[in-house]
Amino acid sequence: MYFYCWVGITIVPDLTINRTTPKLTKLSLNRSVYSVIMQFSVNKRDGPARIGELIIEDKRVITPNILFVNTSRFKAPDFADFFITNKNLKTEKPMLRILGSMFSSSSIKDENDLQISNYLFYPKDLPKDVHVSAIKLYKKKKVDCYIIPGNKETIDDALKNNPASLFIVANASQLFQQHSKFVDFIVELREKVGYQKVIYLPCVGDPSSFALLTYLGIDLFDSVAAIQAAKNNFLLFSTGWHSINEMREIPCSCPSCNKFQGRPSEMKFQQILDHNYYTIQSEIKRVRNAINAGCLRELVETRVRVNPGLTAMLRNLDFDHYDFLEERTPLVRSSQLIATTKESLYRPEIKRFQERIIDRYRKPKSTKVLLLLPCSAKKPYSFSKSHKLFRERLYSLKNPYIVHEVIITSPLGVVPRELELTYPASSYDIPVTGVWDEDEKKMIRGLLKKYLELNSYEKVIIHLPTAVRKFIADLLKNPINTCVDDNPTSEESLKKLASVLEKTTGLYDRINTKTRAKEDFESLASYQFGKETAKKLLADCNIKGRYPELKIMYNNKQLGMIIQQRGLISLTLDGANKIFESKYHWVNIYDDFELVGSVFAPGIKDADESIRIGDEVVVLKSKKLCAVGVALMNGSEMKESTRGEAIKIRHRI
């Protein structure tokens, strides 16, 4: 998809506001522009953040990235990937050329320089009709690089019939100071401009905030903060702005600081600026690496710790915009989930796991005895030393399959054994201290209470340390404690566990292996597909194989199997055929689309918006099954996008 982008822009508003009745009496928008071809595609996603490729006049730049100001006063560093300038540079690197002053709210004083203002071109808190008037005037010129007011009330007016591909947020620095309003605005803007547009946040962003801002969905920043910091004698680090007058030595080995031999307070403007340039470039690369590795959220939680305002923004995002995050968060990822902060409890993948436990999952029908176990450092749990000891006692019994194992843990709450291979249960890590935070207790109690209301047992055995037992025991009916000396793996504890299990399981009729294997599979399928689809998939089936690589068989045909790397059921065409009438995660491709390898976005006619990255997808052509695979985009992005791989096909007709 090609966009024609007007990028050289002069915006010099002359605002006169009536003090009694606020209204716009004059707004002039003067432009000197030249056109280029712009093309943007997304190559990698991690939550709302993405690695993209932006092409301007056949010059490529990877996003997220930094527009380095390049003027007569501020020369961009040699390592800059992208320039914002008022010069006609001869360069092989892409640039946005500003003719006159895009950043100034006053008249141009020096046409040979780039003016810098936090407000871009007018304050955000002007009355709505001022913004709307500006929008109407600006939209008369069909440009592809559009300055959108940083005012939530005017987003719809600004985006209506707007073909622009690059949106520059006006008043960004002012808006950034109002934490919840900033998050609300950026989330709504990203949702409404969609997945194929680029958002540029001018005059905002430094090494401490790049990770969070990218996690919000911002694609482009600039070097204005680095210049402002240098002007005020501040060195930028990932821990924030640090005055040279408060430092005894420079904690940095960048080329600029390595050359400097004096005290920090003796650093000149250009030396400080060079350091700041190295720092912001290093951090944006760190952010891109985190997105590629699927661990941006961990970097975000690390960075926001140094700034209460950034922490507030992350909490606003988690609490007020869960749906926005969940839609864009993959169902599976290869990297480990590191949960070391309070904010980890509210990660979208953790909340989604907990919701599915309550809304979708149901315990194996035959189980009558609930065995509550502690988590383990090694994942999956059953591969750990402690859980091997527990399972040795359990499977030495004559009737082990009457028992249902459920792990009590933070930050997930409760994890049934059948789900131990699924993400995030399969790959999280937490600091183990034996001390439980009040928020953790509240989360576990709430989840366990709801779980027990939906899944009933006749007997409950608690093999948990005292600290855990104390805050959940009142939720259980006549629980039997088998943990001795507060050590679940001690000889005494294991001996008591074996004795109680033998006595308790002997009270019930024996459950055979095949029955329990099918029920476990159905419980996992309910978590993955929902109860009705799971029931349809497992009807009249049997399970073969050895844990964890189990297969669903129907009339000697394999419908699917558990792949340990994903912890979910991967379907065959026969499996997809059995459930596609239930309209589970369907994608319709165009009748003339030739399905050879993967399904790319241009070939998709329509898609189920409940699809998430990592979901099993049933591909239909002319309402008939033609393939099954794994989603690489969510359903909404599949419908909207015109570029990129959408579905990795596993089997096709």
**Residue 323: burial class (beta carbons within 10 Å; 0-12, 13-18, 19+):** exposed
pTM: 0.88
Looking at the fold, whether 343 and 260 belong to one and the same domain comes out as no
pLDDT at 34 over 80: no
Question: Does the N-terminal peptide bond of residue 411 adopt cis geometry, omega within 30 degrees of 0?
Answer: yes
Separation between Cα atoms, residue 585 and residue 612, nearest integer Å: 9
Model confidence over 243-259: pLDDT tens digits?
999 999 988 999 999 99
Looking at the fold, whether 461 and 585 belong to one and the same domain comes out as no
Residues 6+ apart with CB under 8 A from 343: 301, 304, 311, 314, 315, 318
Give the single-character DSSP code of 17. B
Looking at the fold, whether 122 and 18 belong to one and the same domain comes out as yes
User: In what helix (H) or strand (E) does residue 231 lie, and over which residues does it extend?
Assistant: helix 224-231
Last residue of a domain, which of 252, 275, 303?
A: 303
Model confidence over 75-129: pLDDT tens digits?
999 999 998 887 777 788 888 876 543 333 333 344 444 444 544 555 555 556 6
450 lies in some domain: yes
pLDDT at 501 over 60: yes
For residue 583, the domain's CATH number is 2.30.130.10
Looking at the fold, whether 554 and 460 belong to one and the same domain comes out as no
Q: How far is CA 597 from CA 84, 508, 534, 634, 649, in A?
A: 40, 52, 28, 19, 7
542 lies in some domain: no
Query: Minimal CA–CA distance to 139: which of 157, 152, 154?
Result: 157
**By the 8 A CB rule, do 423 and 295 touch?**
no
Q: What is the mean pLDDT of residues 299-323?
A: 97
598 lies in some domain: yes
Total domains in the fold of the chain:
3
Domain that holds residue 232: 3-303
Looking at the fold, whether 464 and 558 belong to one and the same domain comes out as no
Last residue of a domain, which of 485, 505, 525?
A: 505
318 lies in some domain: no
423 lies in some domain: yes
Last residue of a domain, which of 445, 478, 505?
A: 505
332 lies in some domain: no
Looking at the fold, whether 363 and 431 belong to one and the same domain comes out as yes
Cα torsion 183, 189, 190, 195 to 10°: value is 180
Looking at the fold, whether 390 and 264 belong to one and the same domain comes out as no
414 lies in some domain: yes
With cut-offs at 50, 70 and 90, classify the pLDDT of residue 133.
low
- Predicted pLDDT of residue 95: 82
- Predicted pLDDT of residue 401: 97
Looking at the fold, whether 382 and 295 belong to one and the same domain comes out as no
Looking at the fold, whether 343 and 459 belong to one and the same domain comes out as yes
Looking at the fold, whether 117 and 19 belong to one and the same domain comes out as yes
Looking at the fold, whether 343 and 299 belong to one and the same domain comes out as no
For residue 433, the domain's CATH number is 3.40.50.10630
Separation between Cα atoms, residue 298 and residue 300, nearest integer Å: 5
Q: What is the mean pLDDT of residues 596-606?
A: 93
Separation between Cα atoms, residue 210 and residue 221, nearest integer Å: 8
pLDDT at 532 over 80: yes
